[in-house]
Amino acid sequence: MKQRGAVYCEGGSSLSGRIKAKESTPIIGDLTSDEFTINAGDTKNITINIDAAKLKDASQNKVKNFGANWEWTFVRGTDETFLINSSQNIYTVIARPLSPWICTSQPYDEGEIGYIWTDLLDVCCSAYKSNPKSGLPNDLEHVRAYTLELNNNRAFKYDVDGGGASYYTTDLQMIKLQKYLKDRMGTSAKVLNCTDCANIVATEAVASGIDCTMGIMTGLSGFACNQIQAIGYTVWKFPFEFFVFSWTNVPGIHDDRLRKYLKERHHIDWISTAIISKSNDGKTIYLSQDAKTLSLTLNDEVSEVLCSFTNRLIARMENGELKIFDKGGFSYHQVAVIGSAVRSKQSSVFDACLKLDEGSYPGKSESNTYTKKPMLPINYTFSETEDLYVNVPVTTPYNRPYYRERLVEDRSLCSWLSCPIPVAGIATTTTITIAKEAMYMEGNGYHEYFDIVKKRFGLDENPLPKKPGLSVENAFPDFKKIPGIDQFELEEDYGEQKVYSAIRDGNKYRVDIHKAADEQKAYLVLIRRLAFIQNPGINRHNDLGDIAFTIDDSYAIAVRNNVVITVSGRGAVQFAKEIMEQL
């Protein structure tokens, strides 16, 4: 570390001497420059090297900030002349920060955003200082503190109502650090998802000099989960659980709800014209068409629906009505992982996004007879086995500390993707200057996952028609022309990607628009957006733009004329349609 300053010589003759600084409260210690000579009327820059050993002793191998106060004097022989008092904040980290942070010797550039932000280091220092220590090795102790701090921070909550999309990363998977630091100070909780949590923890870790990347777990079409406590919540719920139908209203007014669910979620096409009936005891629903049949049967406890095509249906009495829900799950899940090695069952997981049940029956639901014990996954080994399918029967005691086995439902397929995923870069509004390789994410750790997403949605080939890209003036809508708009605001501007908030007929919306240069770039943005939606209930929608995908009527992703639009909020599909009419 170097301390720099300037000295100006008044008078008619040169001076020789040295600069000395006495520290008021010894932390680093007193400083003394080399002997120098300065001519009359000149200004001379003086550099004083601070012994690295002194800094290491002061930091105690921790992320730390402290104030250093010095009294500066000019020393010539035995004479000492007072110059000035100074106070400075000094930050120390565990080791040399890692990419994407700039940590090499080079001339300082005010326009470069890659230098470590002291606002972020303030968060790291506060997190480490405020969380009690657990006896982990020093680097893991810091990542533990960052994970705890984020999960406990009331400024954030999980996106349980929308698509579980990423809010703190751009379409190039660069972290929106300005937004994160600003939202930490807000009075209302902002939504995020697992990708955001993983990126935040990993970004803080690499700024501290800790080798931390990210990992993605998924199945062919996502995976079913045990109940979790999502960040910002204390209730136990299945992620993205949703109401399907009322048992008493089938056969009856909920027939179409059941048919739609079976067709859209389980791709049973013949079900549209199936005849629906129920057994005499009322415990089994039959659907049949010609020689095709399937059945749904209540179990003896009236808590689950037994059928051959899924184990996701559960039953629950609400207000005297027996309702059937799909347990939902995750299409994928992303976590912070220690190290840059290929992911394996031994990988060490830090997950700020959710709490698991550390009790003996992680697959059991919270009830009057079973109380789940919340546990934040910190330094948890990923999995007990390399088997693709989880094997933790609900009624068999399980007391082992493995992350996947506690999160994923018994018999569900879920595994690591092998590639480690680094923090891609730092994004600021209107500026994206780090990690240009993020423009071509097929070449970094995400490519393996993107291949799965393409297959999942039938997008191995680009289905978008060849069209010229729109001008900036035509790519972003005039919200004032949309009927029912009460207010709107441009909240984030990343050049080709802009994020708006809007209120229409009393409903709140988030609108994220990306103007792509051509159909190939629009295709890549579409894949990226589909990839980072955790809600497994997203399906193709045939009457919206050149191509579209929706989650019921609350979430829509559509492409038209190489402009990718995402709308979330009640009535999202209609709102997206009216926005695209302007393109």
Please tell me the predicted confidence (pLDDT) of residue 432. 40
Counted domains in the chain: 4
Q: Cα(582)–Cα(563) distance, rounded to whole angstroms?
A: 11
Q: Summarize the confidence of residues 484-496 as an average pLDDT.
A: 92
Is 274 a residue whose pLDDT tops 50? yes
Q: Mean pLDDT across the stretch 307-325?
A: 90
pLDDT the model gives residue 25: 82
**Sequence-ordered strand ranges (E) for 453-582:** 485-493, 497-504, 507-515, 539-541, 547-551, 555-560, 563-568
Which one, of 410, 226, 235, 436, lies nearest residue 333 by Cα? 226
Q: Return the pLDDT at 66.
A: 83
Q: Are residues 74 and 183 in the same domain?
A: no
Three-class secondary structure of residue 404 per DSSP? helix
Question: What predicted TM-score, i.e. pTM, was given to this entire model?
Answer: 0.90
Choosing from 52, 73, 90, the residue where a domain stops is 90
Q: Which residue has the tokens 């068999």?
A: 396
507 beta partners:
504
pLDDT reported for residue 5? 59
Q: What is the pLDDT of residue 12?
A: 64
78 Cβ contact partners less than 8 Å away, ≥ 6 residues apart: none
Please tell me the distance from the alpha carbon of residue 379 to that of residue 56, in angstroms, as a whole number: 26
pLDDT of residue 430: 46
Q: Identify whether residues 485 and 557 lie together within a single domain.
A: yes
Examine the fold and report which residue of 397, 414, 431 is the final residue of a domain before the chain moves on: 414
Q: Sheet of 354-357: strands edge to edge?
A: 229-230, 354-357, 374-375
For residue 557, being part of any structural domain is answered with yes
Contact in structure between 473 and 462 (CB atoms under 8 Å): no
Asked if the structure places residue 398 within a domain, the reply is yes
Within-domain flag for 129: no
Minimum mean pLDDT range among 53-57, 258-262, 363-367? 53-57
Q: What is the mean pLDDT of residues 498-517?
A: 94
Q: How confident is the model over 426-454, as pLDDT tens digits?
A: 877 644 433 333 344 455 678 899 999 99
The parent domain of residue 292 ranges over 241-324
- Answer yes or no: do 460 and 545 share one domain: yes
CATH of the domain at 546: 3.40.1000
| 10: confidence class by pLDDT, cuts 50, 70, 90 | low
Residue 108, pLDDT above cutoff 80: no
Q: Residue 487 and residue 501: Cα distance in Å, rounded?
A: 8
Q: Are residues 470 and 558 in the same domain?
A: yes
Summarize the confidence of residues 122-134 as an average pLDDT: 92
Does residue 107 sit within a domain? no
- Average pLDDT across the chain, whole number: 90
Residue 265 confidence class, pLDDT cut points 50, 70, 90: confident
Phi, psi of 510 (to 5 degrees): -120, 130
Question: Residues 447, 535: one domain?
Answer: yes
| Residue 512 domain flag | yes
Q: Are residues 470 and 574 in the same domain?
A: yes
For the ranges 104-108, 146-150, 182-186, 386-390, which has the lowest average pLDDT? 104-108
Last residue of a domain, one of 67, 90, 113: 90
CA distance 414 to 386: 10
| Residues 320 and 334 grouped into a single domain | no
pLDDT of residue 2: 54
In a domain, 216, yes or no: yes
Whether residue 281 sits in one domain with residue 230: no
pLDDT digits (tens, 9 = 90+) for 339-361: 999 999 999 999 999 999 999 99
Q: Phi and psi at residue 450, in whole multiples of 5°?
A: -60, -35
Same domain membership, residue 256 and residue 303: yes
Residues 306 and 446 both lie in one domain? no
Residue 75 has pLDDT above 50, yes or no: yes
Q: Tell me, what CATH number does 2's domain have?
A: 2.60.40.1710
Task: Say whether both 259 and 183 belong to one domain.
Answer: no
Any domain includes 99: no
Q: Is the pLDDT of residue 310 over 90?
A: no
User: What pLDDT is attached to residue 311?
Assistant: 77
Q: Are residues 391 and 515 in the same domain?
A: no
**118 occurs within a structural domain:** no
Instruction: Quote the pLDDT of residue 40.
Output: 80
Supply the pLDDT for residue 175: 92
